Amino acid sequence: MRRVKLDRIDRRILRDLQNDGRMTNVELARRAGISAPPCLRRVRALEEAGFIRGYHADVNAEALGFGVTVFAQVGLSSQAETDLRKFEDLVATWPLVRECHMLAGETDFLLKVVAEDWDAYQKFLTTQLTAAPSVSHVKSALAIRTGKNLPGVPIEVPGDGTE
């Protein structure tokens, strides 16, 4: 990612797109206080610089039949870089795993797993996760509800009262 110094307008564009990725360029430009053509150039530059990685819809997991979210703490028997990478590569092939974070401390990885129900998660756990090479232990925590779920990061825009 090439280094780009973000000014107030860039930060405003990023914040507004993070909150609503379907916002039109005209509306985005209006909010940023610039005209549409330079706004579009700025968005493209932010994409090319790697600040914007993509756009997606926030779908309702429960409406699609995924009623269970589990956070699985995974410990590996080896922390050699090749084993860590192999595990991450394997996790990338599992559709039920929506997030994978390598951690420092007692747990090597934290996985966010969605499943239709508890039985489906248990099947994934026993046939794939605990059966994976170098997995030594897994602790599962069932999410009861989600109190907050915001995408991205807090973006401060100087002069907007968000500092």
Q: Are residues 95 and 134 in the same domain?
A: yes
Q: What is the pLDDT of residues 114-147, one digit of tens each?
A: 999 999 999 999 999 999 999 999 999 999 999 9
| Helix, strand, coil distribution of the chain in percent, nearest 5 | 35, 20, 45
pTM for this entry: 0.87
Cα(97)–Cα(112) distance, integer angstroms: 6
Structurally, how many domains does the chain consist of?
2
Q: Where in the sequence is the domain holding 37, given as residue range(s)? A: 8-48
Could you say which DSSP state residue 130 is in? T
Q: Are residues 83 and 112 in the same domain?
A: yes
Question: Which neighbouring-strand residues pair with 120?
Answer: none
DSSP states of 25-46 as a string?
A: HHHHHHHHTS-HHHHHHHHHHH
67 within 8 A of 117, measured Cβ to Cβ = yes
Residue 118 in domain: yes
